[in-house]
Structure 1
Amino acid sequence: MSKTIFLAGATGAIGQILSRLLIARGWTVYGSTRSESKTNQLSKMGVKPVVVDVYDAELLKEILADIQPDVVIHQLTDLPYALEESKMTEALVSNARLRTVGTGNLVAAAENAGCKRIIAQSISFIYDEGASPHSESDPLLPLTHPVYGETVEGVLNLERQVVESKTEGIVLRYGLLYGPGTGFDAPIAPGSVHVEAAAKAAELAVTGGSTGIYNVAENDGSVSTDKAQKDFAWDADWRENGKI
């Protein structure tokens, strides 16, 4: 029986941890990178490297048709390390484009390849004002928001494309990431999530849960993660070494 995953964003903070978890469970992982220089890093991780830009829709479609993955996981972002403030205005624009156009290309390629499930990274820290903890059905900030309006539009585009795809589509709304590779050693705001626990949620979502949206954040009263706990048995305190 085939157990193949295409992981877009395999060299990222989540992607590196997730690759280890998936390989340990017996999955063959194909990991994408835009840079030929990162193929050795992927190979050393036990990942089969694939050099492709998510904006190259035709090449992406050809590659996935050849691999025929059971699952496609979208962990791509276009944000500066440690969310460097001087770069964030430009990054919010490029990241919104990635969520819209890049996600569309991934979904189309996955559908064409006969993929069974798509799992995509979203965010849980753009809920609108209101009673907390916020559940997945609560409204997000308005599209007219002066800072995050474009981000909200990108998130809504990503989530719609994934959930409405011809495959089983799962969206993981991550809290603000902290931990190795993120630039933050501790939570920087309510609703954060450790990068290892975030990766674990994606691993669990490969075989658990069903089409829909899941909050993935720490239980600090800002967002509810009851759905992920129930459907995935996900635990925000999970760490690779078994300690918090």
Structure 2
Amino acid sequence: MRILLAGATGAIGRRLLPLLLDSGHQVVATSRSAERLARLRERGAQAVPLDVFDRAAVERAVAEAAPDAIMHQLTALADVDLAANARIRREGTRNLVDAAQRAGVGRIVAQSISWAYQGGDAPATEATPLDDTIEEPRATTVGGLRALEQAAAELPEHVVLRYGTLYGPGTWYAPGGLMAQRLHRGELAAGAAVSSFLHVEDAALAALAALDWPSGTVNIVDDEPAPARDWVPALAAALGAPAPAAVPATGDASGDGTGRAGWERGADNTLARVTRGWRPTRASWRDGFADYRSGKDR
């Protein structure tokens, strides 16, 4: 299969590219950086420069690549810019989908997130509606996500992967990354907010597998949603940071006595496991954090 990989130098894209090539796919990989384009060529991809906000350039790139499928792994997370990330989801996805329709490309695999659901007591399934909050900055994030997913669904074959919180090399949760810095500053609360994690390698493996999946949205998370009171101390120990103080439920801004906002509920991966045959190689964040401690995953 011929693949246009948009976002080939991001945390997932860097892992996904060799998986695609090793599986026999032809890959046209994009980047805005000339230096990164050279690296992509060295790794065996056809590399093309692309600014996803330039509609004409996106249309040319897709038409010239003539792919069987588009892999949309574009983010602005390396810059810790949530507004820019939402813009990529809104405008960048719109440009990719419009270009795909003009070029006759019928399949897209797009990166989404699994913590944009409405509030509830249990981990969210794919049937749970997206949050309708108007509170910022969450409203901007969810709005960008909704735009991405709706645009992707315009193509005949579309798989939207709602990833868990990514950890591993190149992510905010890597040694020396943003969350490690916040831990050392004592800024991560060990409260009741529930998260679902995903190692970046498992994210890439899911994207590869999704080329053969039926259309739809799928939660791609590990098997153990966990409250921050469990995972924050474990991450601190793995990264050599001071152990955070526990946060009592009454100190949470949710005001409902749970100690968490309703949307901080984690996500359920049953659909991916049962109907798609996908399982994370790291079933729990506990395994992945332990790799930090042992030096296997740096």
CA distance in 2: counterparts of 1:182 and 1:213, whole angstroms: 23
Query: What residue is the counterpart of 2:190 in the other structure?
Result: none
SS state at 1:193 partner:
strand
The reply on whether 1:151 has 2:155 as its aligned counterpart is no
8 Å CA contact 1:200–1:238 kept in 2: the answer is no
8 Å CA contact 1:4–1:69 kept in 2: the answer is yes
Structure 2: 5+ residue runs without aligned partners?
180-193, 226-265, 289-298
Query: What residue is the counterpart of 2:119 in the other structure?
Result: 129
CA distance in 2: counterparts of 1:224 and 1:183, whole angstroms: 22
Structure 1 residues 146 and 19: alpha-carbon distance in aligned structure 2, compared to 1, 3 A threshold: same
The reply on whether 1:229 has 2:244 as its aligned counterpart is no
Query: What residue is the counterpart of 1:103 in the other structure?
Result: 93
1:224 Cα offset (Å):
1.1
Alignment counterpart, residue 40 of structure 1, candidates 30, 38, 41: 38
SS state at 1:218 partner:
coil
The reply on whether 1:174 has 2:178 as its aligned counterpart is no
- C-alpha root-mean-square deviation of aligned residues, in Å? 1.9
Structure 1: which 4+ aligned runs deviate by more than 2 Å? 139-143
1:43-71 deviation per Cα after TM superposition (whole angstroms, max 9, x unaligned): 12211111010111112111211221001
1:57-106 deviation per Cα after TM superposition (whole angstroms, max 9, x unaligned): 1121112112210010100001236x4xxxxxxx1211111100000000
Letter paired with 2:274 = K
The reply on whether 1:218 has 2:222 as its aligned counterpart is yes
Could you state the TM-score of these two structures normalised by the residue count of structure 2? 0.72
1:152-209 deviation per Cα after TM superposition (whole angstroms, max 9, x unaligned): 100000001111x1331110001111001114248x76201000000001000011x2
Percent pairwise identity: 38
CA distance in 1: counterparts of 2:91 and 2:133, whole angstroms: 18
1:1-21 deviation per Cα after TM superposition (whole angstroms, max 9, x unaligned): xx2000000011100111111
8 Å CA contact 2:97–2:152 kept in 1: the answer is yes
8 Å CA contact 2:4–2:67 kept in 1: the answer is yes
1:238 Cα offset (Å):
5.5
Query: What residue is the counterpart of 2:236 in the other structure?
Result: none
SS state at 1:80 partner:
helix
CA distance in 2: counterparts of 1:231 and 1:64, whole angstroms: 31
Structure 1: 5+ residue runs without aligned partners?
84-90
User: Between Structure 1 and Structure 2, how many residues are aligned?
Assistant: 228
CA distance in 2: counterparts of 1:121 and 1:166, whole angstroms: 15
CA distance in 1: counterparts of 2:123 and 2:61, whole angstroms: 41
8 Å CA contact 1:115–1:167 kept in 2: the answer is no
Alignment of 1:72-111 (within 5 A): 72-80=70-78, 83=80, 91-111=81-101
Letter paired with 2:8 = A
CA distance in 2: counterparts of 1:237 and 1:185, whole angstroms: 18
8 Å CA contact 1:191–1:217 kept in 2: the answer is yes
8 Å CA contact 1:70–1:115 kept in 2: the answer is yes
1:132 Cα offset (Å):
1.4
8 Å CA contact 2:108–2:155 kept in 1: the answer is no
The reply on whether 1:116 has 2:106 as its aligned counterpart is yes
Q: Which has the larger radius of gyration?
A: 2
CA distance in 1: counterparts of 2:282 and 2:103, whole angstroms: 33
CA distance in 1: counterparts of 2:90 and 2:174, whole angstroms: 30
Letter paired with 1:171 = V
